[in-house]
Amino acid sequence: MGSLVFKAKDSKLSSRLLQLMSRIKNLDTVSTRGNRQVSVGIGTAEGKQLLKGFDFNANAPLKSVFFANYDLDTATGVTTVTDFIPLEQLMYPQGSTHISLQSAVVHLDFATQESEIALSNLVNLPLNLTMSTSVLTPSSVPLGTGIQMFLLFISFYQEVNGVQYSLKNEEYNVLNVVEVV
């Protein structure tokens, strides 16, 4: 997930993530105090719920930026954004001319430290009033013990002379944990 996180993080991500993992670790009710583990806490419904909705960039939370309807099929990892009108359903930074959408499915086992990520196709759209439907299909659906996280990534660009450039070191980009199973 490093490449996605690098493109959509805030300066306090490490401390916010540490705080969240500490709360999840505290949900481990079988280990003795001092030996509680994130891998046990994340296995609970409450642990998964704590992780669901986590924004890697607190300056650009998904719910404050993206107002389009989307559906996630957790069996296939496919995210479908339906009837999306960028200029009406998006809070975009000044100067941006385009948006990119991408999803990811991450398998993560906190106990064994095994992980795998599958990225979807990247959909690039101009910021205009044209309605479109985008289907983000991951290359695979990583399976195994542990959890599966489904992420949505949104990035903004400015086109100059036919070339798209990321805006202001990507500080407006969104990376959100849409679902955890």
- Residue 140 is predicted with a pLDDT of 93
- Residue 6 is predicted with a pLDDT of 87
Q: Please, is 162 exposed, middle or buried when counting C-beta atoms within 10 Å of its C-beta (0-12, 13-18, 19+)?
A: exposed
Name residue, tokens 């979807």: 120
pLDDT-derived band at 160, boundaries 50, 70, 90:
very high
CA distance 124 to 75: 25
- Residue 125 is predicted with a pLDDT of 97
- Residue 169 is predicted with a pLDDT of 66
Indicate the average pLDDT of the chain.
Answer: 94
Residues 33-91 pLDDT 10s: 889 999 999 999 999 999 999 999 999 999 999 999 999 999 999 999 999 999 999 99
Look up residue 53 and give its two tokens: 């909705």
Look up residue 41 and give its two tokens: 């806490």
- Residue 2 is predicted with a pLDDT of 83
